[in-house]
Amino acid sequence: MKKQLLIVVALLFLCTGMVMAQKKAITGTVIDGANKEIIPGVSIRVKGTTLSTSTNQNGQFSILAGPADQLIFSYTGYTAITATVGTNTKIDITLESNTAQLNEVVLIGTRSAGRVKLETAVPVDIVNVSKSAATTGRMELTDILNYAAPSFNYNKQSGSDGADHVELGTLRGLGPDQTLVLINGKRRHSTAFVSVFGTRGRGNSGVDLSTIPTASIDRVEILRDGASAQYGSDAIAGVINIVLKKTVNQFNINVGYSGYYDPAFNSKKSVVANQYPHGGSIDGNAVNVDANYGFKIGKEGFLNITADYSKSGKTYRQVHDTTTSDPKALPVNTARRANGDGSSENGTIFFNNEIPLSAKTTFYSFGGYSYKGSDAYAFSRNFLARPDRFPTTGSGALIPVDGVIFNTPNGDSYYNPLIETHNTDLSFAGGLKGSFGDAWDWDLSNNTGSNNFHFYGEKTFNASLGADKTHFDDGGSAFLQNTTNLNFSKHFDKVLSGFNLGFGAEYRYERYKIFSGEEASYKNYDPNGVKAAGSQGFPGFQPGDAVNANRKVFGGFVDFEVDITKKWLIDFANRLEHYNDFGYNFSTKFATRYKLTDNFNIRGSVGTGFRAPSLQQINYSSTFTNVQGAIISEVKIAPNYSPITQAAGIPNLKQEKSKNAGLGFTFKPVPEFSVTVDGYIIKVTDRVVLSGQFSADDTSLDPSFTNALKALHVGSAQFFANAVNTTNRGLDVVLDYNKTIGDNRYRMLFTGNFQHMTIDKVNYPPILGKTETLQETFLSSREKKFILASAPAAKFSLNPEFGHKDFTAGLRFTYFGKVNIYGYGDGSTIYPTVPADNGSGQLPDLYNYSGKVVSDLYFSCKLNKIARITLGSDNIFNVHPDLGYIKGAKGYAYNNEPAGPFDAVQMGGNGRRFFVRVGLTL
């Protein structure tokens, strides 16, 4: 097999010297049709080939092409133009502004040379990241997409261990690991982190988009359709393709500042502010500096480099009034005194590179390095409630530690453990692409990415060790992915109205590791079993949790795209993959688009998909030591191959499978206005979730299982399992109006996603599902609500914008629909309930977060040829989610995920943010 592959590669290189047509240098300039200014960074591509370039800072370009070739000129925010070379050696192009990019040529979802967005067989959103980032104080790509794309959702976590430190988004209401992320069309590796505590997507990994600097991105293409048959595992909900910049001879630098001004819930304003740590009246202060520059290499090559640095401070949020007579008041939040978002410091460098080696062969590479250090508060430890979590003398007296343990006015003492993480990410992709023979295109690439996620405990204790040690190395995890692709494609102009054939193969190697922390982060040093063991906040991974697992994946695909007529397009894709840990999977997809008129298209698709269980889910292991009455036992998340898992009757994890269908239309009644409407249904079976904890002392469980737990000194255990079948139904709507009249620009953009998810079935293992109580333990009503709350039932945005010459003003109204989430309950009933304050009985511990509108305002002005300033406010009216508590049960007001007044829903709990950005183009 290897010998045959080497022969194929050798033939490909031999064929690069074949000259199929006489090439010549085509030069020209691209300008804006409205203001007649030059446009740097315009993409120019020879249709049907991989040859491309971009305009320099003077709007000029040069590219080799033959007389019969067609050049496609495209740039985010402008209508694409195709020009035939013919006898010309100089081609000047005028592009007309189209802010919504509704005629942008897209490459995602097709293996042909690209299609105009409104004429694709499946829906694709294009996000101009540079523009979106310039009109908001939101710095992370995930947060920017949350307000720019209708079916993309992201909830900033707080009080959720490692989930506070990563940025995992979802598409069309599914999980964060059910959307495939590509960079320049190549698969991006996921984070090593697994969400296991207090988070949406519990039990999932995913791609951490915060490791990719926004300044390096030309645009983001979001394919809102299942695409496993085209791209492989994880593409159940769709595909996000991040296209990196290619600009040369242009230096861009941006400096930004933002801060939250929230007089409604800033802890500093509380009547019991001395019970809480807090910052200033403006907190969450953040600065960001990024720079981008492209070097020209030869006539058509380039090297584009981006550097990014950002730093953001913590936020502190509490309900201000604690007066019992005030209906809006809540008790003192002793559960999490430091409630709010964590702080972070990021540094990233990214590059994108292409070098033509000949008229038929181009070398390309891209990748980068990212480091993110962050820390967030865990739940508070209070001495009067749990003295065993504090360092004490032999007589039980508290040992004071300055700067860590604090005293309250009512005589209690507390400390707030900090969970620190060091998140390191490295990636490099390189390859060769070109053409040979009768206009066959080929692409050979290798893409390597790795992520290291390391936990530390700070300002905390291992109470069984004493007071001297307050910093702990808790261990962590690492993930590596290496993907090799060889793809071929050819466009046949004379077959019907055009036929494109694509096929190829992929080999992927993945490795996942868990490394243990230092001994003091997990060990019990108290022989009497009285003091709590391990680093409080996040106990370290133990040597028994250490993992070094890998797997290999082989896959092949064939993709047909044919224009039956000039009006009727058909796509058909099939993919077969083999995983050495669970076997084969076959996926197929059919999509079509028909032009009823020149401005009205109907499109639809049906297909199957899959997501392989991640190595993280198969191998994750975590152990917490529990001491009760000198009896030491363990609470364990057991890996899939563990004897405990097998004793519980949990089968080996297998792939999640999906069936999806979509139907929609695009309509452009006038050049300035367009409409796209797309409905969808996605059925997923065997979704992987993390179960609840099963106790070795539960007499209702099968003795074979509880005996296995006791034999291994495990007090309780939980597992990953293919447990849930779900159905998502939804509708995406985009209405866009753009008009330029003289020096004035008018824009009105509406985007909306309306969706509904149902849990069709829970697949209970026989041993763990015998009774209603066991079923509720396996997948509780609370966890079901988390699955359903990955996206609100409705989310839509209205973005009116006006521009006059160098000035732009805009508003953005984003509606986040209603969300329901259960609290923990008090444990006295099977389902989550809490006692009423008046003693009248139990109340459902259900939090109803009503729909809310967030209003953003921004102003932008081009000061001169090189400088631009933007200022504004996100959430200018300081809107918050509803408080997470039961009105008749305020005694359990902090019985939710962050143990604070706000859960991670909708727009988040930080309130109003002001921002200013200054950009220079040199």
* Angstrom distance (rounded) from CA 239 to CA 425: 21
The rounded distance, in Å, linking the Cα atoms of 217 and 144 is 13
In degrees, rounded to 5, the angle at the alpha carbon of residue 479 between the alpha carbons of residues 473 and 481 is 160
For residue 72, what is the enclosing H or E element? strand 70-74
User: What's at 835, amino acid-wise?
Assistant: P
- The rounded distance, in Å, linking the Cα atoms of 701 and 766 is 10
Q: Is the torsion defined by CA of 180, 183, 185, 191 positive or negative?
A: negative
Q: What is the spatial distance between Cα 759 and Cα 774, in angstroms, rounded to a whole number?
A: 18
- Measure the CA–CA gap between 69 and 24, rounded to whole angstroms: 11
Q: What is the DSSP string of 869-891?
A: EEEEEESTT---PPPSS-TT-GG
Report the C-alpha gap between 74 and 46 in whole angstroms. Answer: 12
Q: What is the DSSP letter of 63?
A: E
Question: What beta strand segments (E) does 650-700 contain?
Answer: 656-670, 673-690, 694-695
442 Cα distance to chain centroid: 30
Three-class SS string for 565-630? CCCEEEEEEEEEEEECCCEEEEEEEEEEEEEEECCEEEEEEEEEEEECCCHHHHHCCEEEEEEECC
pTM, two decimals, is 0.87
Per-residue CA distances from 912 to 262, 265, 282 (Å): 6, 11, 10
The DSSP secondary structure of 100-157, one letter per residue, reads T-TT-EE-TT-SSS-EEGGGSSS-EEEE-HHHHHHTSS--SHHHHHHHHSTTEE----
Residue count of the chain, please give it.
922
583-597 and 568-579 strand pairing: antiparallel
Whether the CA torsion 535, 538, 544, 546 is positive or negative: it is: negative
Give the C-alpha separation, 72 to 52, whole Å.
9
Q: How far apart are CA 519 and CA 515, in angstroms?
A: 12
Query: In angstroms, rounded to a whole number, what is the distance separating the alpha carbons of residues 32 and 100?
Result: 16
Cα 714 to Cα 306, 693, 700, 707, 842: the distances in Å are 49, 11, 17, 10, 32
**Residue 277: Cβ within 10 Å count:** 18
Q: Which mean pLDDT values do the consecutive 10-residue runs of the chain (922 residues) have?
A: 42 38 82 72 81 80 89 79 90 74 60 69 88 86 87 79 77 90 95 79 84 93 92 93 93 96 94 92 96 92 96 94 84 91 94 93 96 92 93 92 94 94 96 90 96 96 94 96 95 87 96 96 87 90 94 95 92 95 92 93 95 93 62 74 90 94 94 92 94 89 89 87 94 92 91 94 92 92 88 92 93 94 88 92 92 96 93 96 89 81 83 95 90
**Which amino acid type is present at position 353?**
N
Rounded CA-CA distance 525/627 in Å is: 11
Which string of DSSP letters, residue by residue, matches 317-376?
A: B--S---TTSTT------S-SS-S--EEEEEEEEEEEEEE-SSSEEEEEEEEEEEEEEEE
Parallel/antiparallel/unpaired status of strands 714-741 and 631-638: parallel
CA nearest to 434, candidates 534, 359, 337, 544: 359
- Residue 606: exposed, middle, or buried by beta-carbon count in 10 A (0-12, 13-18, 19+)? middle
| Amino acid letter, residue 289 | V
- Give how far Cα 371 sits from Cα of 340, 346, 464, 690, 722, Å: 23, 6, 34, 29, 34
Three-state secondary-structure class, residue 777? helix
CA distance 695 to 709: 8
Kindly provide the residue ranges of all beta strands, DSSP E only, lying in 396-533, ordered along the sequence: 406-407, 413-415, 418-436, 440-458, 471-492, 499-515
Token couple for 410 = 């009512």
- Give the model's pLDDT for residue 546: 95
Alpha helices in 620-689 (DSSP H): 643-647
Q: Most distant CA pair in the chain: distance in Å? A: 96
Q: Which residue has the tokens 């309950």?
A: 825
CA-CA distance, 382 to 776, in Å (whole number)? 31
Return the residue matching tokens 């639809």: 604
Enumerate residues 6+ apart whose C-beta is below 8 A from 410.
none
Our CA angle for 27, 28, 32, nearest 5°, is 155
The one-character DSSP state at 38 is B
Q: How many CB atoms lie within 10 A of CB 853?
A: 15
